[in-house]
Amino acid sequence: MPEQLSQEAGPEAWNVFRTLLQIESESNLIPGWASVAPEDLARWTGLGRDRVLATLDRLRRHGLIDLRDAAHVLSFRIRDPLPVPAAEPEIRERLARRVSAPPGMYLRYLTPLDGENRVQRVVHLYQCCFGVSFSPRIAEDLERIAIAYDMGTIVEVFEEAYRRGTKGLSWIKRRLAAGSEQT
């Protein structure tokens, strides 16, 4: 993707896009809107503000990002699913050869969470928070969570856990149980 992006959107496009990916993934558990000051983006990429803004516009026109402009902050979202030059099975095959990725691993900008069943969606939220491997006991807990709680609440709690930097599923289970006792 870096070569294709540089050819189609200019030599600085990959640098800006990669920086946006880093900002967005640090800000959100699952793909969503993130914000950055154009001046910060210019400083982090080594480009001037005007070049950054022109590059962002090219990335938008190529269908890679959505933009919302505010007074001093730029809100952006990486398109989901991200239009990439390879099919999902090919990407999964490459990952399996390089890093022994499990076949059902969540691919952040490629795997749409909306089309999955509830259990698989909760598994992917877990993988986003804590990594791709987990025990059979955790799999059972994730299945119970998917059955017992509203999906919106589950996503909110996982996002809160991600922001807090929690280290395991126990905090999420306690938070979900406490929330259901209040209603």
Residues 77-92 have pLDDT tens digits of 998 777 887 888 888 8
Q: Maximum distance among all alpha carbons in the chain?
A: 55
Residue 101: the pLDDT is 67
Range of the domain at 161: 113-182
- Residues 7 and 74 both lie in one domain: yes
CA distances from 25 to 8, 147, 164 (A): 24, 27, 14
Residue 69 lies in a domain: yes
CA distance 29 to 78: 13
pTM of the predicted model over 0.75: no
Statement: residue 114 has pLDDT above 50: yes
Mean pLDDT of 58-83: 86
**Structural domain contains residue 97:** no
Mean pLDDT of the chain: 85
Q: Give the residue with greater pLDDT, 132 vs 149.
A: 149
Helix axes 136-148, 169-182, angle to 10 degrees: 20
Residue 114, C-beta contacts closer than 8 angstroms, at least 6 positions apart: none
Residue 88 placed within a domain: no
Task: Indicate if 16 and 74 belong to the same structural domain.
Answer: yes
What would you report as the CA-atom Rg of the chain, rounded to the nearest whole angstrom? 18
91's enclosing H/E stretch is helix 88-99
Residue 9: C-alpha distances to residues 1, 5, 6, 140, 176 (Å):
11, 6, 6, 46, 44
- Domain boundary residue, one of 78, 99, 124: 78
* pLDDT tens-place string over residues 99-109: 766 666 677 77
Residue 25: pLDDT over 60? yes
Greater pLDDT, 113 or 62: 62
Tell me if 99 is assigned to some domain: no
Mark whether 117 and 161 lie in a shared domain.
yes
Compute CA distances 42 → 12, 16, 131, 153, 169, whole Å. 11, 9, 32, 37, 38
Per the structure block, which two tokens stand in for 64?
């890679």
